[in-house]
Amino acid sequence: MFDTDFSSTNNTFVNQDRLIMRLVILSIIASLLAGCATQPGGRVTASKPPVAISDPIDRLVAKLSPPQPPPDQSFTSTGGWGSGTFSIIDLPATASADEVVSEVMQRWHFTSYKILEVRQVHIPTVYWDTNPSATPAALVDTNVGEKIVLFFYTGPDTKWNVRVYDVEPPAP
């Protein structure tokens, strides 16, 4: 009764479906390529190199300060200044920086030393520590090279906690 050929109509729908799928795939590929494109002018730029810090105490503070963690690790400890071993110096809370450094130099058997500078620094122990307490830092010239002494009073039981660091040369 009805003698209609649907094959050409069916092929038209199949061709339209294929065309739509091709357009979708091409738009996905174009989006991916656009996201991976280089900087304008065809150059790929690297991150800026770290700025050289000339002051030895500032270099140590930067080294001991914890880096910002990746976004997926929001509350993890990063070690640094708050971790590690230290010496305890048995002096009263009223001891001066010169007295603490002198005791450290004698205990560590430095035969000669000269305190070049003493100042307060702020070294966070964890990256979310936005207001770290002040810690005295002394730059000391010794018979075996320059050292930085960090020290803080923790109470009558543990007295003065002290850490001594070698002065590292500035980055080139």
* Mean local confidence (pLDDT), 52-61: 87
How far is 31 from 26, CA to CA, in rounded Å? 9
Instruction: Work out the pLDDT band at 70, boundaries 50, 70, 90.
Output: low
pLDDT-based confidence at residue 41 (cuts at 50, 70, 90): very low
Q: What is the pTM of this model?
A: 0.61
Domain boundaries, the chain: 7-42, 56-166
Q: Which residues contact 171 (CB under 8 A, 6 or more apart)?
A: 50, 52, 53
What average pLDDT does this structure show over 3-25?
A: 61
What percent of the chain shows pLDDT beyond 70?
56
Q: In what order do the strands lie in the sheet with 159-166?
A: 87-89, 159-166, 145-155, 134-142, 113-122
Residues 6+ positions from 124 with CB-CB distance below 8 Å: 65, 66, 81, 130, 132
Model confidence pLDDT, tens digit, residues 88-127: 899 999 999 999 999 999 998 998 999 999 999 988 765 5
